[in-house]
């Protein structure tokens, strides 16, 4: 499972900028260059929207060989360590920019800020390593889950799940408005979860989608443009899978966090409208706010492994 979490929040980034610039100044640099850098830091705006992107990769410790024992933790650490450089290079090649592995302290700090936004400024001032947040302290000190919202450490969040992806042709900017900062939402997190099919299941999926699209298009006397596009997309997916392309299941979680409970209704209305503009059907995760909130964090949480119905039975249905 891969989790891409885009977190948007409004914060004072002057301490972070000051720490980043002053920490990389060369002591033997020209005085004019040093003066220019210091002036740029002091003249920068004090507050602005900040966007962070985290990608979490989760591996199973099960052995591919049937009947063999599970891999040990040391074996998994060695295997993952060998894969990290190529994965980081692949991310950079997509245009995502340089990627680096987060430390345990940085992951713990990210989780603590998600549950308790009041400590965000402290962590920005001193850094995740110096903040000294232990893994045991990453979660909330107190939380209360309601039917349609989740209260945690002085903040309140509402989470949605995607029930329908965009239909028809999807352009690269379809999620632009949903990912962009919004002044009515203090913190917003959009998480995309990917889970690959194995080779045998991928063949069944693409052929089933191809038959369903053809049946829907032939069942109407007057064909619709959307049906024709669906048939073309299904045929293209089948052709790509036949030449070796992978097939993945994907989902989307959206979480809006506010500091004042009075802003909760406005934030929920904004997310509903943003989902419509992105051609995505979002549904509030009623009765599962705490689980949805945690599933969108870089925890490596595989939600399908925590359902009451076994995975094999669900896939056979």
For the chain, the residue count is 317
- Examine the pLDDT at 45 and tell me if it is beyond 70: no
Taking the model in full, what pTM does it have? Answer: 0.79
pLDDT band at 143 (very low <50, low <70, confident <90, very high): very high
pLDDT, residue 159, reads: 96
- Examine the pLDDT at 17 and tell me if it is beyond 80: no
Question: What's the mean pLDDT in 139-156?
Answer: 93
More confident residue, 150 or 97: 150
* Alpha carbon distances (Å) from 29 to 11, 26, 44: 31, 5, 22
pLDDT, residue 232, reads: 83
Q: Helix 199-218 and helix 225-242: axis angle, to 10°? A: 160
pLDDT band at 6 (very low <50, low <70, confident <90, very high): low
Which of 66-80, 224-238, 241-255 shows the lowest per-residue confidence on average (mean pLDDT)? 224-238
Q: Judge contact between 7 and 51, C-beta under 8 A.
A: yes
pLDDT, residue 114, reads: 93
Q: How high is the mean pLDDT of the chain?
A: 83
pLDDT band at 8 (very low <50, low <70, confident <90, very high): low
CA distance linking residue 209 with residue 245, whole number of Å = 16
> Among residues 222, 255, 187, 141, which one has the least CA distance to residue 8?
187
pLDDT, residue 208, reads: 86
* Alpha carbon distances (Å) from 217 to 213, 230, 235: 6, 9, 13
Could you give the percent of the chain with pLDDT greater than 90?
Answer: 25
pLDDT band at 221 (very low <50, low <70, confident <90, very high): low
Could you give the percent of the chain with pLDDT greater than 70?
Answer: 87
CA distance linking residue 272 with residue 29, whole number of Å = 51
Q: Judge contact between 179 and 8, C-beta under 8 A.
A: yes
pLDDT band at 294 (very low <50, low <70, confident <90, very high): very high
- Examine the pLDDT at 291 and tell me if it is beyond 60: yes
Question: What's the mean pLDDT in 156-178?
Answer: 87
Question: What's the mean pLDDT in 266-295?
Answer: 93
Domain boundaries, the chain: 2-58+102-197+247-316, 202-237
pLDDT band at 39 (very low <50, low <70, confident <90, very high): confident
pLDDT band at 14 (very low <50, low <70, confident <90, very high): low
Q: What is the pLDDT of residues 116-137, one digit of tens each?
A: 998 888 887 777 777 788 888 8
pLDDT, residue 315, reads: 63
Question: What's the mean pLDDT in 241-265?
Answer: 90
Q: What is the pLDDT of residues 62-115, one digit of tens each?
A: 877 777 788 888 989 899 889 988 888 888 877 777 888 888 888 999 999 999
């Amino acid at each position: 499972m891969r989790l891409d979490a885009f977190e948007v929040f409004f914060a004072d980034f002057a301490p972070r900028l000051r720490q980043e610039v002053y920490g990389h100044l060369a002591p033997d640099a020209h005085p004019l260059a040093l003066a220019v850098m210091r002036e740029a830091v002091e003249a920068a705006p004090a507050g602005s929207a900040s966007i962070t992107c985290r990608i979490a990769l989760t591996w199973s410790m099960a052995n591919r060989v049937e009947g063999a024992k599970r891999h040990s933790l040391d074996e998994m650490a060695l295997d993952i360590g060998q894969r990290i450089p190529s994965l980081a290079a692949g991310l950079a090649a997509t245009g995502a920019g340089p990627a680096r592995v987060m430390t345990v302290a940085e992951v713990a700090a990210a989780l603590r800020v998600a549950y308790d936004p009041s400590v965000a400024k402290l962590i920005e001032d001193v850094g995740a390593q110096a903040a000294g947040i232990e893994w045991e302290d990453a979660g909330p000190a107190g939380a209360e889950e309601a039917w349609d919202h989740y209260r945690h450490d002085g903040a309140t969040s509402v989470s949605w799940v995607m029930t329908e992806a965009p239909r028809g042709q999807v352009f690269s900017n379809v999620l632009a408005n949903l990912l962009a900062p919004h002044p009515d939402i203090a913190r917003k997190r959009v998480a995309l979860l990917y889970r690959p099919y194995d080779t045998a299941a991928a063949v069944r999926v693409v052929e089933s989608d191809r038959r369903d699209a053809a049946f829907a298009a032939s069942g109407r006397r007057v064909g619709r443009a959307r049906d024709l596009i669906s048939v073309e997309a299904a045929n293209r997916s089948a052709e790509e899978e036949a030449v070796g392309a992978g097939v993945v299941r994907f989902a989307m979680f959206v979480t809006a966090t506010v500091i004042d409970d009075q802003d909760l209704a406005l934030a929920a209305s904004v997310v509903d409208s943003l989902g419509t503009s992105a051609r995505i059907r979002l549904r509030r995760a009623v009765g599962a706010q705490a689980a949805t909130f945690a599933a969108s964090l870089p925890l490596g949480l595989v939600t399908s492994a925590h359902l009451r119905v076994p995975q094999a039975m669900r896939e056979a249905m």
